[in-house]
Chains A and B, each alone.
Chain A
């Protein structure tokens, strides 16, 4: 029977290689889709190999696999592109839950396991539970089931540190005397679930890209810890790859906001905002669709700067339509995308791709800034903090130092905005008061539609 075990291990190696090749290919536009398929073939192989393990009974496995596949496939096809951040969060939570349960089941089956296994079980429970409950809160915040505002209270960090301390103490007790500590085990699992909730509630909507990619990293680490529990190499390798790539992505997001990870996780941005910063003052110049049309009609170069507001208003299709009309009118049209615009990494890219904007027209922040002085009209749609010039000039501003898209350097700036209320973090935006800025108030979709109509009727 050792032969069968060897065959399984060889298939696991092939699966791990396919994951690595697939991830590599996901990093480039031309190969990304094939990369995803290659990685899914790796997953299929890993599952088939596991089903070959000696002594498997299949009746429940078939039930579970079919149920999970149907739910997963249905969710993947039913989800709207604007709801993508919360869907990724939800999937991620289920992955974390699965790892947690693997650790739990192993403890139920063999409570007298060696110390190393018990330590691994403890870590699996801790990371898996935090991933699961944290992802559920992130999902609820993104889907607006609960307020996306940061929840802050006195002594927050201290309470979290205390809970973590208690979890580790209980963990040590559990590892030393696993046979007598069944209720301790359940208690530490409950505490870990609570910790996941408490870690995510202080984080505001605009910081969600960081949290989503961090939770993704955790789910990989949870799978990895589960790999140490059942001594399975493919779990360790695949979990680690996800863990490491998630951390890299998290770092990229933090860098794009010029903040440290600790600051994002514990800073509770918005709590201190707006108190010390200079108050932006001046006259706001509103503009109606017809006058905006005359300016756009003469423009040779137009840059759209989308933000979360475009996702909320579902305005991506009508924005694309306006883009086409401007192109037919002879203007060069581009879309400048800030790395943390929206609620997950690359959120805006996905929405614009859905609306059939070719990816050559999407430009990243730095190239966008280098062309900005030559741009006739920059149209800001539902973005606020990522175009706030206070980040360059006002040292007291909470976002001081964050790299922004310098729309204020364009000849004219249109800002599409619902009202004059300040953005998510309550930070004043001096952009609105600049001489070259014009405000177009109203729902983003309706405003862009009005501009499209002006173009069509003339």
Chain B
């Protein structure tokens, strides 16, 4: 448990360090990209759905997997689609 707290605190500091200087251009992709990462709860959802075998947990787990999967797949694809639109001037003339 203490180890997990240790991981938690380090990850928070790392998160602050990573994002502190980002041009405002990239705020939307950054937000939707990190939003996709928050779909990591898919891991918890899969474990709940795959290893518990009561009716209630199956229903809850199934909804959780669907929700998290929408978050993950939608989040990454929409970010990629947006970033594909950011082009330099010389790239456009090709």
| Chain A interface residues toward B at CB < 8 A | 19-20, 22-24, 26-29, 32-33, 35-37, 39-40, 43, 46-47, 50-51, 53, 55-58, 60-61, 63-65, 67-69, 71-73, 75-77, 79, 81, 84, 87-88, 91-92, 94-95, 97-99, 101-102, 104-106, 108-109, 116, 212-213, 216, 219-220, 222-224, 226-249, 252, 337, 339, 344-347, 349-350, 353-354, 356, 358-362, 364
Contact with A along B49-78 (1 / 0, CB 8 A): 111111011101111111111111111111
Rounded to whole angstroms, the CA-CA distance of A361 and B50 in the bound complex is 51
Number of residues from B at the complex interface, CB < 8 A: 81
Rounded to whole angstroms, the CA-CA distance of A109 and B13 in the bound complex is 34
Which residues of chain B come closer than 8 Å to A99, judged between CB atoms?
A: 41, 44
Residue with the highest number of chain A CB atoms closer than 10 Å, among B12, B24, B82: B24
Which residues of chain A come closer than 8 Å to B50, judged between CB atoms?
A: 51, 53, 55-58, 60-61
Give the number of residue pairs across the A-B interface with Cβ within 8 Å: 379
Asked if B78 contacts A84 (CB within 8 A), the reply is yes
Choose among B19, B34, B57, B88 the residue that contacts A109 (Cβ–Cβ < 8 A): B57
Which residues of chain A come closer than 8 Å to B60, judged between CB atoms?
A: 101, 104-105, 108
Asked if B41 contacts A235 (CB within 8 A), the reply is yes
Asked if B32 contacts A27 (CB within 8 A), the reply is no
Contact with A along B14-57 (1 / 0, CB 8 A): 11101111111111111111111111111111111111111011
Given A27-B30, A32-B86, A56-B51, also A20-B57 (CB < 8 A)? no
Asked if B18 contacts A57 (CB within 8 A), the reply is no
Which residues of chain B come closer than 8 Å to A216, judged between CB atoms?
A: 31, 34-35, 38
A-B contact pairs, 21 of them (CB 8 A): A23-B19, A43-B42, A53-B51, A64-B45, A68-B67, A69-B69, A71-B70, A73-B73, A76-B78, A88-B32, A98-B44, A109-B52, A216-B31, A220-B38, A226-B41, A230-B47, A230-B48, A237-B7, A241-B14, A345-B28, A350-B29
Choose among A22, A36, A67 the residue that contacts B66 (Cβ–Cβ < 8 A): A67
Given A104-B60, A364-B24, also A36-B76 (CB < 8 A)? yes
Choose among A22, A56, A61, A105 the residue that contacts B57 (Cβ–Cβ < 8 A): A105
The reply on B89 being an interface residue by CB < 8 A is yes
- Which residue from chain A places its CB closest to the CB of B22 in the assembled complex? A27
Choose among B12, B54, B63 the residue that contacts A108 (Cβ–Cβ < 8 A): B54
Known: A223-B38, A226-B41; 4 extra A-B contacts, CB below 8 A, are A68-B68, A72-B74, A79-B78, A95-B35
Rounded to whole angstroms, the CA-CA distance of A386 and B37 in the bound complex is 32
Asked if A223 contacts B34 (CB within 8 A), the reply is no
Choose among A24, A51, A237, A349 the residue that contacts B25 (Cβ–Cβ < 8 A): A349
Asked if A36 contacts B33 (CB within 8 A), the reply is yes
- Which residue from chain B places its CB closest to the CB of A109 in the assembled complex? B52
Rounded to whole angstroms, the CA-CA distance of A415 and B43 in the bound complex is 50
Which residues of chain B come closer than 8 Å to A55, judged between CB atoms?
A: 50-51
Which residues of chain B come closer than 8 Å to A19, judged between CB atoms?
A: 37, 40
Rounded to whole angstroms, the CA-CA distance of A222 and B38 in the bound complex is 9
Residue with the highest number of chain B CB atoms closer than 10 Å, among A87, A229, A244: A244
Write the nearest CB–CB distance from A38 to chain B, whole angstroms.
10
Residue with the highest number of chain A CB atoms closer than 10 Å, among B7, B37, B54: B37
- Which residue from chain A places its CB closest to the CB of B46 in the assembled complex? A50
Asked if A240 contacts B86 (CB within 8 A), the reply is no
Asked if A235 contacts B38 (CB within 8 A), the reply is no
Asked if A358 contacts B88 (CB within 8 A), the reply is yes
Which residues of chain A come closer than 8 Å to B12, judged between CB atoms?
A: 240, 243-244
Write the nearest CB–CB distance from B30 to chain A, whole angstroms.
5
Write the nearest CB–CB distance from B52 to chain A, whole angstroms.
5
Asked if B74 contacts A344 (CB within 8 A), the reply is no
Write the nearest CB–CB distance from B40 to chain A, whole angstroms.
4
Which residues of chain A come closer than 8 Å to B42, judged between CB atoms?
A: 43, 46-47, 50, 98
Rounded to whole angstroms, the CA-CA distance of A33 and B80 in the bound complex is 6
Asked if B24 contacts A346 (CB within 8 A), the reply is yes
| Smallest CB-CB A-B distances: 9 pairs | A68-B69, A244-B15, A64-B65, A72-B73, A346-B27, A72-B74, A345-B27, A240-B11, A76-B77
Write the nearest CB–CB distance from A122 to chain B, whole angstroms.
16
Which residues of chain A come closer than 8 Å to B66, judged between CB atoms?
A: 64, 67-68, 71
